[in-house]
Amino acid sequence: MPIFLDTGRIDEIKTYHRMGFLRGVTTNPTIMLGSGVTGGMPGIIQRTVEIARLIDPLPLSVEVTTNDRAGMIEEARMLAGLASNINVKITIHGPKGEMENLEVIHELETVHNVRINVTAMMSAQQCLLAALAGATYVSLFGGRVNNMGYNACDEITKLRKLLDALKLESKIIIGSTREVLNIIEWLSAGAHIVTCTPGLIKGMIVHPYSKETVQMFLDDAEKLKTML
């Protein structure tokens, strides 16, 4: 499942879904707002349902909009109930370091049968704890890890070795992708999935030398036609 598209725009999802290489979509309130979603929570729900139906059976990760314990559980259950392919994103802890989120993650996975994508993580140790708590996905923000002066590849490799050794089923998602180079590097380091913006995916596909070569082929093809 190597490539997830990070967007909330329907036109972008349709474009890359038709190409056949997408394996899922991720989004969050910030992305939804940037994608033109209006109308508050009803607008988010409407867009979520639209995306889920469009990519079904591929997974869609959408994020809760609260860090209140009861609120997270209620909203996660509501979001998961919108479609069978929805996973719910919950941050590893609250904005002030509140640690109840892992309790919420464990309860949602084991009691309410809601698939959770634990997000906003910056280290292998955070991801390991989320995996032990039962998370379906553990999301490491690779670009931000690199910005802090560490190599995200090292964290990915350590984490993958631990998950495999402990036979934990959580899948590693690497987000906060900054460069096309990151995608192949992080998958090679052991990530199961890398989330990519549409611009990065276009950068994977379109290469200036490929453009030059295609144009040469077309020019030579035209020359052949004149020889007939």
Angle between helices 198-205 and 10-17 (to 10 degrees): 30
Q: How many C-beta atoms surround the C-beta of residue 74 within 10 A?
A: 13
pLDDT band at 1 (very low <50, low <70, confident <90, very high): low
pLDDT (tens digit per residue) in 100-114: 999 999 999 999 999
pLDDT band at 133 (very low <50, low <70, confident <90, very high): very high
**Two tokens at 85?**
């392919």
CATH code at 3-226: 3.20.20.70
**Two tokens at 69?**
């314990």
Which positions ≥6 away from 202 have C-beta within 8 Å?
Answer: none
pLDDT reported for residue 28: 87
pLDDT band at 211 (very low <50, low <70, confident <90, very high): very high
Transcribe the chain into DSSP letters: --EEEE---HHHHHHHHTTT----EE--HHHHHHTT--SHHHHHHHHHHHHHHHHTTS-EEEE-S---HHHHHHHHHHHHTT-TTEEEEEESS-TT---THHHHHHHHHHTS---EEEEEE-SHHHHHHHHHTT-SEEEEEHHHHHHTTS-HHHHHHHHHHHHHHTT--PEEEEE---SHHHHHHHHHHT-SEEEE-HHHHHHHH--HHHHHHHHHHHHHHHHHHHT-
Whether the predicted pLDDT of 29 surpasses 90: no
| Average pLDDT along the chain | 96
Report which of 139, 125, 127, 135 is spatially closest to residue 175, judged by C-alpha positions.
Answer: 139
Distance CA 52, CA 86 (A): 7
**Two tokens at 52?**
């889920």
Question: How, if at all, do strands 116-121 and 60-63 pair?
Answer: unpaired
Residue for token pair 């309130």: 29
Q: Is 89 a catalytic residue?
A: yes
Mean pLDDT to the nearest integer, 13-41: 93
pLDDT (tens digit per residue) in 164-187: 999 999 999 999 999 999 999 999
Report which of 92, 95, 86, 121 is spatially closest to residue 104, judged by C-alpha positions.
Answer: 92
pLDDT reported for residue 30: 87
Query: Of 14, 89, 158, 225, which is the active-site residue?
Result: 89
Structural domain spans, the chain:
3-226
**Residues in the chain, total:** 228
Mean pLDDT to the nearest integer, 15-37: 93
